[in-house]
Structure formats: C-alpha cells, structure tokens
Amino acid sequence: MIVELIPKREQKPIFGQVFFLIISITTLVSVGMAFFVLQQLIRDTSEVLAVLEKRFLEDTRPLEEEASAMLEGYKTKTEMLRIVLDERKTALPFLRLLEQTTHPDVFFTDFNGDPKTGIFVLTGEARDFFALEQQRLVWKGRKEFESAVRNIQLGKEGAGSFEVEFIVKPELLDPL
C-alpha cells in the first residue's frame, strides 16, 4: 500500500456542483410532471373531440333536413309570387286602358278576372244613370275589348250600381 507522506486536505464539494445538482434534479422532476400533465390533457382533449365529432355527425342531419325544407318552402313561395307578378303584369295594360276610359262619375268596388282568359268582371257604381250611359257608350266604341253591362240597379239619390263584363283581346294582355 502506498502511504502518503504529505497529507492532502479533504476536498469539500464545490457550491457550484451542488447547485447544478439541485437544478438538474428540479428540472428532471418538473419535466416528468409536465409530461404526465400534458398526457392527461391530451387524453381529455381527445375524448372531448370524439364527443363533439359524434354530436356533429348526428345533429347535422336534422338541421340539414330542416334547412332543405325551409329552402323548398321559399322556392315554392317565390314561384307563387312570380306567377302572381306575371299575372299582374299581364293585367296592367287592361287596367291602364280602363283608367283612361272610365268616366269621372263612375267608380268600381270589385274586380275579378283572369288575364289568361281575358275575361274581367267589375262591379261598380255611377253617380247617376246619365253617367252610366255615357260610360257604356265609351266602352262600346273601344276596339281593344268587348263590354256588357248587367245587373243595373237604382241606388240612393239616383245612383246606379252595375256589373260589367269585359272580354279583352289577347294582344292587349300580351306582356311582350
């Protein structure tokens, strides 16, 4: 065995080595804890994602069907509105002509008609029978339509109520 003649001092651990040892152990423990915490968060997020995907796949079908039904309803209403507007457009030339040829003392209370057939029935009143006869003569002279005054009745203060049927020529109602 070797005997040392000069005794060496005992070496004390350096503060830096202990400090780095503590820092290393703390870092190892915190990385390990972070790993387990992140694993748990990933597992929880995966479960929530699976539940949401399942709900999305199940719930969208009724919503899609409801949206499709609403769209079909809007489509039907739009088509009906287009038909009504087309009918109104075809009746407008007749209404303009009626406005131009109506006597100031004659007014209408009811309007029924079909632009496709060209037959319109109007109920109206005249201030007196003289105004009604003038109106009948004006309508009789028109070439755009034929008119027939019917159901003439005596009203209050000499006024006359009547019903008139117009048969309008198709070219007047043609929108183009």
Q: How many domains does the chain have?
A: 1
Task: For the full predicted model, state whether its pTM sits above 0.95.
Answer: no
pLDDT category, 130, cuts 50, 70, 90? confident
Q: What is the reported pLDDT for 32?
A: 95
Confidence at residue 54, expressed as pLDDT on a 0 to 100 scale:
84
For residue 7, tell me if it sits in a domain.
no
Instruction: Print the domain residue range for 127.
Output: 90-173
Residue 98's domain is classified under what CATH number?
Answer: 3.30.1360.100
Average pLDDT over residues 1-13: 68
Mean pLDDT of 29-51: 94
Residue of higher predicted confidence among 158 and 45: 45
Is the residue at 112 inside a domain?
Answer: yes
Predicted local confidence at residue 176, as pLDDT: 47
35, part of any domain:
no
Whether 137 is in a domain gets the answer yes
52 part of a folded domain: no
Q: Is residue 132 part of a domain?
A: yes
> 3-class secondary structure for 79-130?
HHHHHHHHHHHHHHHHHHHHHHHCCCCEEEEEEEEECCCCEEEEEEEECCHH
**Domain for residue 94, yes or no?**
yes
pLDDT of 83 higher than 50:
yes
pLDDT per residue over 15-39, tens digit each?
A: 778 888 899 999 999 999 999 999 9
